[in-house]
Structure 1
Amino acid sequence: METLKNDELDLTADTIKKYDRKYNLHSWSAQKKIDPLVITKAEGIYFWDSTGKKYFDMSSQLVNLNIGHGNRKVIEAIKEQADKMPFMGPGYAVDVRAKLAERVIEKAPDNMDKVFFTLGGADANENAIKIAKMYTGKFKIFSRYRSYHGASFGAANLSGEPRRYTCEPGIPGFVKFFDPYIYREKIKFESEEKATEFYLGKLEEQLIYEGTDKVAAVFIETITGSNGVIIPPKGYLQGIRRLCDKYGILMICDEVMAGWGRTGEWFACNNWNVKPDIITFAKGITCGYVPLGGVLVDKKIAEYFDDNVLMCGLTYNAHPLACAAGCATLEVYEEEKLIENSRNMGAILGEKLEELKEKHSSVGDVRYIGLFSAVELVKDKNTREALVPYGKDPEGRMTKIIGMLKEKGFSTYSHENSIMIAPPLIINKEELEEALDILDDVMDSVDEYVEKLK
């Protein structure tokens, strides 16, 4: 078997790809069908492949690289912590752990009292499930069909979209309900408020049928993320809060993707002045520089565990390197005014996306808040027929379109029939407009491609 020696780490691009294909398993892929780019450099909102080609990172990798590539402040904080103390078990108090916990609580909604740090979003959601069950003594968890909460077993059962199928038959107690996906709803509502009334009415009916005394939590992405950036209609989140209060159920918001400035607020729930009982987060807390996630709990839950054992534990809970990165990342948000920039650039993004929707026959809908958006592609604007059926793309239509974008230096990903547009929060007006010009140009070709499918 061919192996690497210490003096052979400066590999050619061909060798990198050869070893990558030979030894690595890539997620969500049939291995023979992938041809990964070899990436050699990344800076700001861009990265470069081994040929020297530059790409706009218009999905912030996996919608996590909010501060962009190569931020020196965060890199130096990691290096400094590695020199000082690279690891200490979670049972000990360490300066960066204490500091980051205090800073996270400071930025969270004011009902939040303590945080349990994890390694990422999936295990944040796993532990939130456990905390909800321990605190309430109930076992049922409601979540939505178009949700994605992670690929580990519990998080996959919590998820609603097709990536959950490999974890079925699943864990008892997970119950699914429908998103307020107005664009795809067969009912034509008079207003957002009427849509909210309909969706909340069906949810309450389902809660009653499942037994409200058995439901521990309603667990939602504050804004549905990769499944289409579905933004809740007016009054919807407030209505879920009221239902949870009415029946003694916890409201849990997954802000793994939507948190940390992505929507123009520190947390997405702030856009609607809603205070969940539990918030999960990851991604933007360190922007991928070191893995980190967490579970925020409000005061009543925190106080419960003063006398009751918290049956949650991870070897790398509150890892010092990750906490150092998190502290530095929060400073970057403030010093570079990235929350404000997300709002300001988000307004420009929204205007440009509306222009794309008006111009292109293949663009059925655009949804956006801050620098968090999706472009939904259709075969027919009048019928709203999706470009690909739910959970299927046998002809690789979306793959082709993402490939067309990448060929022109616009890197992002798609899910179902939607293209994610979520650039780093450091992007400026000139960069954003240049990138969106590429999207506009490719959509001309997509219009022609879709026309041939009819």
Structure 2
Amino acid sequence: MTGPRQLDLLARETAHLAPGASEESALGRRVFTEGRGAVLTDLDGNQYIDLAAGTLTQSLGHCHPEVVAALTEQAARLWNVHDFSTAGRAELCDLLARLLPEQLDTYGFFSTGAEVVEAALRAVQAVAEPGRNRIGALRHGFHGKTQGARMLVHWDIGNQAHAGNSILGYSPYCYRCPLDLEHPSCGVRCATLVRKHIAEKPNVSALVFEPVLGAAGVIVPPPGYWEQIGDACRDNGVLLVADEVLTGGGRTGTFLAGEQFGLEPDLVALSKGMASGFPFAVLAGRSDVLRHPDAARAGSTASTYANNPLGIAAARATLEVVARDTLIDNVRSLGELLGERLAELHARFDVLGDVRGLGLLHGLEFVRSRETREPAPDIARAVYLTALDLGLRTSIGGHIIRLAPPFTIDRALLDEGVTLLGRAVERVTEATR
């Protein structure tokens, strides 16, 4: 339970803090004061295994000593000189060139996921041929809260519509197939329709997509989905813009999630785990796109906090550790353990309608019954809160709980975290019988 010191501080905040916090924060009502590795400590001294890794950001866990040292050293030297070159930027470029697919050899640096998505949209609009004035995206996708990012997925607020020039295609949500089909007998019909309505349309300039849809609940595509769409886009001159803000940097077991589906994107947006949760983002792209005269006009990759040396230092330190310690291999190994343990929970509890994931990114979908598949957000909330009280932090959104442990978590602690999650599900299901 939330202790007295935390309750006092939260009450003081309420008088001034604007509402609209994340669901997990509003429900959890915790005040965290320290993080070390995969463990968090709150203001009252309680500890939690953090299987959400910050905001699915802490690839190396909290306060990794090499990232702390890099930030501390840089903070004592220089913070912001707009987008002038600084000592570490060339080295970061060289490092990215080693980690990313060969065709992604040109980079722009930004501060947030939404900002880098907007930069990708500007690049697409700059290089689009006359007549290619539409952009494709996927239902259930999430690309940020700025207007351009909202426009992609037709996310309206209040009475303001922001559909813009975006065309929506079917995402590969097999558990809740909008076409009422079953895989594999469906022949991946959702991909066929994306190809028909987006990839093969002469007025579409790009398809902006998450290879694995994160905010929607870790929707992992079935075999053949991206292969079919990717080939069609390439054959028809439609740029592939991969939003790997969440998945990029090794989260799914390859540096880019798209590598597992044979995707060769023209542009990739990366952020979250690239700098251990420090504000930092990268737009990686093909040279012929990002160096195109219309995409490379003065100021096109500049903003107040873009290219700041603190973010570059955090990113360099993070990615150097990921590469040196072969942590992506660790992600695959730990991901197998996580998948096995979650499969056990799925077999035990009928309220778990579906469990899915890739590497160290998994989603648990809570339902009232497996027959109706009716979403059960109240059960998910109860499990989330019970897990917190047991000393486990996860990430909740609606009827789905996501897990994204640090790449550095040890097997025993990961196993303990899943055990606590199982105990939370058990307590909630027993209480609702």
- Fold conserved between structures, TM > 0.5: yes
1:149 corresponds to which of 143, 149, 159: 143
Report the CA distance shift for 1:360/1:316 in structure 2 as closer, same or farther (over 3 A). Answer: same
Counterpart for residue 205 of structure 1: 196
Displacement after TM superposition at 1:214 (Å): 1.9
Displacement after TM superposition at 1:21 (Å): 2.3
Task: Return 5+ residue gaps in structure 1 as ranges.
Answer: 1-11, 389-395
More moved, 44-53 vs 34-43: 34-43
| Separation in 1, partners of 2:33, 2:99 | 35
CA contact (8 A) 1:124 1:294 kept: yes
Matches within 5 A, 1:262-301: 262-288=251-277, 290-301=278-289
| Separation in 1, partners of 2:311, 2:122 | 23
CA contact (8 A) 1:117 1:294 kept: yes
Name the SS of the counterpart of 1:384 in structure 2: coil
CA contact (8 A) 1:281 1:293 kept: yes
Counterpart for residue 112 of structure 1: 104
Report the CA distance shift for 1:19/1:301 in structure 2 as closer, same or farther (over 3 A). Answer: same
Counterpart for residue 308 of structure 2: 319
Letter of the structure 2 residue corresponding to residue 149 of structure 1: H
CA contact (8 A) 1:363 1:376 kept: yes
Task: Return 5+ residue gaps in structure 2 as ranges.
Answer: none
Name the SS of the counterpart of 1:89 in structure 2: coil
Counterpart for residue 391 of structure 1: none
1:348 corresponds to which of 334, 337, 347: 337
Report the CA distance shift for 1:436/1:316 in structure 2 as closer, same or farther (over 3 A). Answer: same
| Separation in 2, partners of 1:27, 1:287 | 25
| Separation in 1, partners of 2:22, 2:244 | 26
Question: Is 2:398 aligned against 1:407?
Answer: no
Matches within 5 A, 1:117-136: 117-136=109-128
Displacement after TM superposition at 1:34 (Å): 6.1
CA contact (8 A) 1:196 1:236 kept: no
Matched residue count: 424
Counterpart for residue 88 of structure 1: 81
CA contact (8 A) 2:381 2:399 kept: no
User: What whole-Å deviation, never above 9, does each CA across 1:361-398 have from its counterpart, x for those lacking one?
Assistant: 1111110111000111111112322224xxxxxxx543
User: What whole-Å deviation, never above 9, does each CA across 1:136-165 have from its counterpart, x for those lacking one?
Assistant: 1433111112111111121122246xx653
Report the CA distance shift for 1:425/1:196 in structure 2 as closer, same or farther (over 3 A). Answer: farther
User: What whole-Å deviation, never above 9, does each CA across 1:188-218 have from its counterpart, x for those lacking one?
Assistant: 4352xx545311221133238xx82221111
Letter of the structure 2 residue corresponding to residue 410 of structure 1: L
Matches within 5 A, 1:371-390: 371-388=360-377
Task: Please give the TM-score of this superposition, normalised by the length of structure 2.
Answer: 0.91
Letter of the structure 2 residue corresponding to residue 143 of structure 1: A
Displacement after TM superposition at 1:182 (Å): 0.8
Report the CA distance shift for 1:359/1:171 in structure 2 as closer, same or farther (over 3 A). Answer: closer
| Separation in 2, partners of 1:44, 1:417 | 28
Matches within 5 A, 1:232-243: 232-243=221-232
| Separation in 2, partners of 1:317, 1:33 | 30
CA contact (8 A) 2:339 2:357 kept: yes
1:438 corresponds to which of 388, 398, 420: 420
Question: Is 2:359 aligned against 1:370?
Answer: yes
User: What whole-Å deviation, never above 9, does each CA across 1:29-66 have from its counterpart, x for those lacking one?
Assistant: 69x97673121221110111111111111111211111
Identity of aligned residues (%): 26
User: What whole-Å deviation, never above 9, does each CA across 1:236-260 have from its counterpart, x for those lacking one?
Assistant: 1121211212221111111000111
Counterpart for residue 55 of structure 2: 62
Letter of the structure 2 residue corresponding to residue 386 of structure 1: P
Name the SS of the counterpart of 2:234 in structure 1: helix
Report the CA distance shift for 1:195/1:93 in structure 2 as closer, same or farther (over 3 A). Answer: farther
| Separation in 1, partners of 2:121, 2:399 | 30
Counterpart for residue 423 of structure 1: 405
| Separation in 2, partners of 1:150, 1:190 | 30
CA contact (8 A) 1:149 1:254 kept: yes
| Separation in 1, partners of 2:159, 2:65 | 40
Displacement after TM superposition at 1:273 (Å): 2.8
- Structure 1 or 2: more helix by fraction: 1
Displacement after TM superposition at 1:334 (Å): 2.3
Report the CA distance shift for 1:222/1:360 in structure 2 as closer, same or farther (over 3 A). Answer: same
Report the CA distance shift for 1:336/1:16 in structure 2 as closer, same or farther (over 3 A). Answer: farther
Letter of the structure 2 residue corresponding to residue 231 of structure 1: V
Displacement after TM superposition at 1:336 (Å): 3.0
RMSD: 2.3
Displacement after TM superposition at 1:88 (Å): 1.5
Name the SS of the counterpart of 1:95 in structure 2: coil
